[in-house]
Amino acid sequence: MTCAHCIGAETIFDEKEARKNLKRYKKKGPNKTTRLLLNALGQEELAGLSLLDIGGGIGVIQIELLKKGVSQATDVDASKAYINTARQLVKEESFDNKARHIYADFVDCYSDIGKHDIVTLEKVVCCYPEVKDLINHSTAKAGKYYGLVYPLDGAVARAVNKLAHLYFKITRNPFRTQIHSEKMMDELIRQNGFERVHYSKSFPWRVALYKRVA
């Protein structure tokens, strides 16, 4: 990948961060926002469904849903360290024959990826400048369910985000965190044929699950 933003992201989501996340998961299980999203999905019938996990990190959602009966999981992530760790984790859990890992920016490779029953994006929209493209392309891949975790918007969040941008600028990292309008994202997802069936909060995050209706 040659995208400056993606290159910058890899310096943040690196091997050290992947190892830390893996250690925490093995010790404590999924973090709170992941549990909220998994619990929401757990209210639905998942057996035999396929999963597309965009920005899947070390593969926690993939592992947990495979344990719940999901038949196949595809992971797309722009961090090579996270992809390698996710591969290691599914192998340890004996799910490597049911998992596919793609090292790429989803917006660059979406046309090569087929439709899946479930699409998840945990803490991904906050890493994408062109969020409308991300939502349009990812909802098109979701046959039944679309779940995401994103930061709250508002004046305080945007002020904190400006400080983060200043830090990245000082450290000469082209990566930038993003705060997108919750109202805009919700409306766009609904326009693409979904209704929201779950909504919860874990400051400063929001967790939403949508179900396709059209």
Instruction: Report pTM.
Output: 0.94
Residue 4 predicted with pLDDT over 90: no
Q: What is the rounded average pLDDT of the residues 67-71? A: 96
* Amino acid at residue number 170: I
What is residue 167's predicted lDDT score, i.e. its pLDDT?
86
**Backbone phi, psi, residue 70, to 5°:** -60, 135
Cα–Cα distance, 151 to 40 (Å, whole number): 18
Q: DSSP alpha helices (H): ranges in the chain?
A: 4-12, 15-28, 32-42, 60-67, 80-92, 106-109, 131-139, 155-170, 182-191
What is residue 111's predicted lDDT score, i.e. its pLDDT?
95
125 Cβ neighbours under 8 A, 6+ residues apart: 131, 134, 135, 148, 150, 178, 180, 185
Per residue in 77-131, pLDDT (tens digit) is 999 999 999 999 999 999 999 999 999 999 999 999 999 999 999 999 998 888 9
46 Cβ neighbours under 8 A, 6+ residues apart: 65, 68, 69, 70, 118
pLDDT: which is higher, 174 or 122: 122
- Top-level class of domain 4-212: alpha beta
Residue 176 predicted with pLDDT over 80: yes
What is residue 19's predicted lDDT score, i.e. its pLDDT?
96
Question: Using an 8 Å Cβ cutoff, are 48 and 72 in contact?
Answer: no
Per residue in 180-211, pLDDT (tens digit) is 999 999 999 999 999 999 999 999 999 999 99
Q: What is the rounded average pLDDT of the residues 7-20? A: 89
Q: Residue 78 in 3-state DSSP?
A: coil
pLDDT: which is higher, 60 or 163: 60
Residue 2 predicted with pLDDT over 60: no
Residue 3 predicted with pLDDT over 70: no
Per residue in 18-56, pLDDT (tens digit) is 999 999 999 999 999 999 999 999 999 999 999 999 999
What is residue 98's predicted lDDT score, i.e. its pLDDT?
97
Q: Which of 57, 140, 43 is nearest to 101 (CA)?
A: 57
